[in-house]
Amino acid sequence: MAELWRPIRKILREPLGALGLFLVLFVIFGAVFADLLTSWDPTKINPRDRFQGPSTQHLMGTDQLGRDLFARVLHGGRIALFVALVSTAVSLVIGIVLGLIAGYGPRWLDNLMILLFDAMKSFPTVMLALALVTLMGPSLTAVMVVVVLVTVPGYARIIRTQTIALKTSEYVTAAQSMGASSARILRVHILPNVIGPLVILASMDIPVVIGIEAGMSFLGLGVRPPTPSWGSILNDGFTNIRDTAWIAIAGGVPIIITTLGFTFLGETLRDVFDPRLKGR
Amino acid sequence: MLSYFIKRLGLAAAIVSVAMFLLFCMIYLIPGDPASVALGPRATEEMRAALREKMGLNQPVLVQFWNFYIGAWTGDLGDEVLSGRPVTTVVLEQLPYTLALIVGGITWSVALGIPLGCWAAVSRGSWADRVVGILSVAVIAVPSFVIAIYALLIFAVELRWLPAIGAGEPGNLGDQLTHLILPSLAVGLGWVGYIARMVRASMLEVLEASHIRTARAFGLPDRTITYRYALSIAILPTVTLLGVGIGQMLSSAVFAEIVFARPGVGKLVYDAILTRNFPIVTGTVLITTVLFVLLNLLADLIIGALDPRVRSSF
């Protein structure tokens, strides 16, 4: 327990880290206990109550179809966090495997993979998303595929660089001379030593991922209506911006709070645990 | 210098080739073929077969890829489904609007980012440094489309200071510039943060250098040292950063064009998706990718020309 507490105390000592942690926990709390925090159904249409401002009944007002915005924001948080967690996990696994292969494998394979990563990184994110969605149709899966394609090259490169640095170290040579297989060396000797910086980088990518999900849903390329996402709420707000500002506020403020929270937390994590990564 | 230039150019060509290959694989492997996508669900089987024939989708994969590859290098990206106009022409017509937006974004980010970064570096550790630091992180974190919508809401809808829609009257430069202010702010604001941080970090490094110490010993005024001697070196990494940044600004530009209803490649692709005009989508992806690779190349060459160390390490 003390082992777990120490890093948290380190984060809390930094004002920005404490703020970040608080914002992140606040957002997670809202998403997890969405059903307890409001009794409104986020998809229930009620045209008589459309375009209402905040009141004791509707804490954030209602949208153009009279749906309760507070309930939609809480349930939208579930989508955002779900996409962030699942797609980051998938990217990490793929990035680690590709990075280890590029770093430990033969030179020609390394060069080829670096070229592939560079080519993948040269597609502008939104353009790639738009092209994929034209073919696949809008869905959460499409959003996650885009996230994976955008983030994997960066992760693989980090792992590759670290693997190359460790490949010639004495303890790896020792393991090789004792007849350990490549798979065992990668799993037991290299992976544990390269994974730390990657986890910190991934935590700093979470706001980017949340931005991609919200952005694609904003363009109507992510979740399908009537499922609420912060991006689709923001789109409702944009469409009706001349009637009321409350919908745009309800859609945008959670995105700002979440991205700021994760960024402050990620930056503090990096400064506290791995200052070498600064400037990456 | 020449060999560095040739090597870097070769690498750029290789990256573009691989990007084309990846794009082709994506089109080929993802279920649903471009002909059905273009015609929609109500098309008959004969209509689909005819369009497939016309788009060359019945040929063997390798032939298709070869045609796509050679076509792309010679600037032939196929014809638009609806009007039959060449995709390259359609995209290049819209590109200047997007480039204007990106140049506007760079202007915002350089005009605000460099002074802020210098200020933070010179007053290191003070409250000003901390505030600039936190603000930089904050503007980097918030997605550009949120900034675009709130800029629209505050300055165009509520305060009515600036226009909300369109790119301005053609030929009227003042009007076009006023229409550019808000969208380019949305594109560039995040990069104010990146540039401020980068300039601050490299300024701190440069201010320790011996030639700056010498300048101090000669009694040159602080202002001259900071802006003439230190900044001219500290600004180098910013050039590389902007090369990378342009790709992201392209993404932000798509949102800015949609939010402010401006013409441009972003709006073009977005409308093409709604009308299922698939060649336009792939064509735009390719052209913007090539643009991005070229601008990165340009940034590297500028750095290579300014800093001999980069050339030799390549």
- Which of B200 and A134 is assigned the larger pLDDT? B200
Q: Is residue B298 part of a domain?
A: no
Counted residue by residue, chain A has a size of 280
Examine the domain organization and report whether B211 and B124 are in the same domain: yes
Long-range contacts of B94-97 (CB under 8 A, 24+ apart): B94/B263, B94/B264, B94/B265, B94/B267, B94/B268, B95/B264, B95/B265, B95/B287, B95/B291, B97/B167, B97/B257, B97/B262, B97/B263, B97/B264, B97/B265
Phi and psi angles of residue B301, each rounded to the nearest 5 degrees, phi first: -70, -40
pLDDT tens-digit map of B183-210: 999 999 989 999 999 999 888 888 888 8
Residue type at B314?
A: F
Question: B292 vs A118: CB contact, 8 Å cut-off?
Answer: no
Q: Which residues contact B78 (CB under 8 A, 6 or more apart)?
A: B55, B71, B86, B87, B279, B283
Which residues in B130-279 belong to E strands, given as ranges? none
Cα Rg of chain A, angstroms: 22
pLDDT at site A280: 44
**DSSP states of B104-122 as a string?**
HHHHHHHHHHHHHHHHHHH
pLDDT tens-digit map of A30-42: 888 878 888 778 8
Range from A225-239, B58-72, B216-230 that averages highest in pLDDT: A225-239
pTM of the model: 0.86
User: How much is the average pLDDT of A193-221?
Assistant: 87
Q: Is residue B274 part of a domain?
A: no
Question: A207 vs B141: CB contact, 8 Å cut-off?
Answer: yes
Q: Which residues contact A29 (CB under 8 A, 6 or more apart)?
A: none
Which residues in chain B belong to E strands, given as ranges? none
DSSP state of B227: I
Q: Is residue B81 part of a domain?
A: no
Q: Count helices and strands (H / E) in chain A.
A: 12, 0
Q: Is residue B57 part of a domain?
A: yes
pLDDT tens-digit map of B276-305: 777 888 888 888 888 888 888 888 888 777
Examine the domain organization and report whether B136 and B164 are in the same domain: yes
Question: B141 vs A16: CB contact, 8 Å cut-off?
Answer: no
Domain boundary among B239, B263, B287: B263
Which residue in B153, B284, B292 is closest to A122 by CB distance?
B292
- Surface-to-core class of residue B1, CB atoms within 10 Å of its CB (0-12 exposed, 13-18 middle, 19+ buried): exposed
Examine the domain organization and report whether B258 and B116 are in the same domain: yes
Examine the domain organization and report whether B69 and B122 are in the same domain: no
Examine the domain organization and report whether B101 and B242 are in the same domain: yes
pLDDT tens-digit map of B61-99: 778 788 878 877 877 777 776 677 888 888 888 899 999
Q: Is residue B66 part of a domain?
A: yes
Examine the domain organization and report whether B37 and B181 are in the same domain: no
Distance separating alpha carbons of residues B89 and B101, to the nearest angstrom: 20
User: How much is the average pLDDT of A272-277?
Assistant: 68
Q: Which of chain B's residues have a Cβ under 8 Å away from the Cβ of A256?
A: 142, 146
Across the strands, what pairs with B280?
Answer: none
Number of domains in chain B: 2
Q: Which of chain A's residues have a Cβ under 8 Å away from the Cβ of B32?
A: 135-137
Examine the domain organization and report whether B23 and B147 are in the same domain: no
Phi and psi angles of residue B59, each rounded to the nearest 5 degrees, phi first: -75, 160
Evaluate if residue A193 carries a pLDDT over 50: yes
Q: Does A109 touch chain B (CB under 8 A)?
A: no
Examine the domain organization and report whether B137 and B102 are in the same domain: yes
Examine the domain organization and report whether B103 and B179 are in the same domain: yes
Question: B150 vs A218: CB contact, 8 Å cut-off?
Answer: no
Predicted complex ipTM? 0.85
Q: Is residue B312 part of a domain?
A: no
How far does the CA of residue A149 sit from the closest CA of chain B (Å)?
11
Nearest chain A alpha carbon to B11 = A115
Evaluate if residue A88 carries a pLDDT over 90: yes
Closest CA to B149 of B40, B259, B58, B14: B259
Examine the domain organization and report whether B64 and B132 are in the same domain: no
User: Domain containing B251 — which CATH number?
Assistant: 1.10.3720.10
- The structure tokens 């109550």 sit at A49
Kindly state the tokens that stand for A106.
Answer: 């033969």
Evaluate if residue A77 carries a pLDDT over 70: yes
Q: Is residue B224 part of a domain?
A: yes
Examine the domain organization and report whether B31 and B109 are in the same domain: no
A-B interface: how many C-beta pairs under 8 angstroms? 140
Examine the domain organization and report whether B166 and B252 are in the same domain: yes
Nearest chain A alpha carbon to B146 = A252
Q: Which of chain A's residues have a Cβ under 8 Å away from the Cβ of B152?
A: 238, 241
pLDDT at site A3: 67
Q: Is residue B204 part of a domain?
A: yes
Domain boundary among B224, B244, B263: B263
Q: What domains can you pick out in chain A, each with its CATH number?
A: 21-277 (1.10.3720.10)
Helix (H) or strand (E) holding A217: helix A191-218
**Full residue range of the structural domain in which residue B11 is found:** 2-76
Counted residue by residue, chain B has a size of 314
